[in-house]
Structure 1
């Protein structure tokens, strides 16, 4: 895992956990969640390639796409059953791992998984097209603004200039993720896949998130054998940052279920 920056919050050594962050962020935002879990798990996380302190990621026509790359990195952290937590794109990676290796999962907490293929949505398809088109035209600022204004904790223009610059540098990764998220090129939704996950699953959504998020949760919940659902009042897509108390409490509930 050369060039991948790792985070580790000490906790119960017999209860390993792995948390996967969203696009255009870094794993550091799990720190407040780990603090609130108060050592119940030994929580690890990593900055995805091109994010935080990790090295850059450059697409290779003959190599794996970004989603597959992150999935392989995440899988390398698993040497025994663990509690797997993911947010947004990270939640789709967590779900991909759980479908491929259900025996490796002790519990699965999915915070706003953006697996758009589970609930095709015209508005989301328009967002995909807009971001990809702006990026292909070399209009990185406009592409980043369109993405962050839909999914960020605050409008793009309200962010510090350094944060804006960092996100603009990474916006190409968002465009690269359209096939796995919107077209399920990773085949996460294959017949029998979700149904094979026998670990307890918790689906967490923000009350004010885009409607497609709630439709995705509906679709996934209908196929998962052991699933709980929760909606955090007043929260949007970035609820691990904005509503850490509630998110940590709900993660704890799912840890208890396992």
Structure 2
């Protein structure tokens, strides 16, 4: 279906899962139980799995949005997006709100929502350093960023590959999804975080306000919120309540 590779699991209405800087397997561990009622479509963003490489080898949330618009139009799914994947998901939802049943956004760093907060400024500086310089980033900043992103072991092959994939990506500071359009369309929304970083909590609070969204905090798994003990049940309840 379309440009992107996807794994399909379960049966029932479609739930599209859009990962960020880590692949689907790491990002969505913990949601297996949802396959009993829902068809889980694990999307592979460009550069991951069997999906094509991104243009010029550079991750770009606007390219993601074009890809996801095609996916959403095909199935009219519920959408669950994590971290960098949330930029493309929100952009696509704003462009084609009739193609989306609901959106759940997990720790997507929309810096413009809290530009003056010291914690957000620090997070932006770390992220920009790693995305701009990749493996040549300041070692201390790289270690701190990876720890916040849920990859404290900076020497593993998987972490090294993730850093190279993120290198030269379009910077999150340029993302400006039309949150008002999503809210005006009446798309049910939920915003989730893992209670491990104050700057991300503030961004998620403000995103929830902008979308008129349900706001949940699911601690216990750091940035990989889907694996937190309470998250799968909460997501299942939200999907069921908003399937129409």
TM-score (norm 2): 0.82
Q: Which of 102, 110, 120 lines up with 1:107 in the alignment?
A: 102
Q: Write the deviation string for residues 78-119 of structure 1: whole angstroms up to 9, x where unpaired.
A: 224221111111223222222222211112111122212112
For structure 2, which runs of at least 5 residues remain unmatched after alignment? Answer: none
How far does residue 58 in structure 1 lie from its aligned partner after superposition? 4.2
For structure 1, which runs of at least 5 residues remain unmatched after alignment? Answer: none
Question: Are the counterparts in 2 of residues 195 and 223 from structure 1 also a CA contact under 8 Å?
Answer: yes
Per the alignment, do residues 165 and 55 of structure 1 end up closer, same or farther by CA in structure 2, a change over 3 Å counting?
Answer: farther
Task: Determine whether 1:221 maps to 2:208.
Answer: yes
Aligned equivalents of 2:223 and 2:47: distance in 1?
21
Question: Are the counterparts in 1 of residues 17 and 81 from structure 2 also a CA contact under 8 Å?
Answer: yes
Question: Are the counterparts in 1 of residues 134 and 163 from structure 2 also a CA contact under 8 Å?
Answer: no
Aligned equivalents of 2:239 and 2:134: distance in 1?
45
Question: Are the counterparts in 2 of residues 144 and 171 from structure 1 also a CA contact under 8 Å?
Answer: no
Task: Determine whether 1:237 maps to 2:223.
Answer: yes
How far does residue 150 in structure 1 lie from its aligned partner after superposition? 2.2
Task: Determine whether 1:201 maps to 2:189.
Answer: yes
How far does residue 222 in structure 1 lie from its aligned partner after superposition? 1.9
Task: Determine whether 1:116 maps to 2:111.
Answer: yes
How far does residue 144 in structure 1 lie from its aligned partner after superposition? 4.5
Task: Determine whether 1:211 maps to 2:210.
Answer: no
How far does residue 177 in structure 1 lie from its aligned partner after superposition? 2.9
Question: Are the counterparts in 1 of residues 9 and 35 from structure 2 also a CA contact under 8 Å?
Answer: no
Question: Are the counterparts in 1 of residues 194 and 225 from structure 2 also a CA contact under 8 Å?
Answer: yes
Per the alignment, do residues 71 and 237 of structure 1 end up closer, same or farther by CA in structure 2, a change over 3 Å counting?
Answer: same
Per the alignment, do residues 45 and 234 of structure 1 end up closer, same or farther by CA in structure 2, a change over 3 Å counting?
Answer: closer
Task: Determine whether 1:177 maps to 2:174.
Answer: no
RMSD: 2.9
Secondary structure of the structure 2 residue equivalent to 1:253: helix
1:65-80 matches, cutoff 5 A? 66-78=60-72, 79-80=74-75
Q: Write the deviation string for residues 223-252 of structure 1: whole angstroms up to 9, x where unpaired.
A: 324x21111133421222x42x42211211
2:18 matched residue in structure 1 = 20
Task: Determine whether 1:45 maps to 2:42.
Answer: yes
Q: Write the deviation string for residues 187-216 of structure 1: whole angstroms up to 9, x where unpaired.
A: 3146x32431412211111122x2122212
Question: Are the counterparts in 2 of residues 9 and 34 from structure 1 also a CA contact under 8 Å?
Answer: no
TM-score (norm 1): 0.78
Question: Are the counterparts in 1 of residues 86 and 108 from structure 2 also a CA contact under 8 Å?
Answer: yes
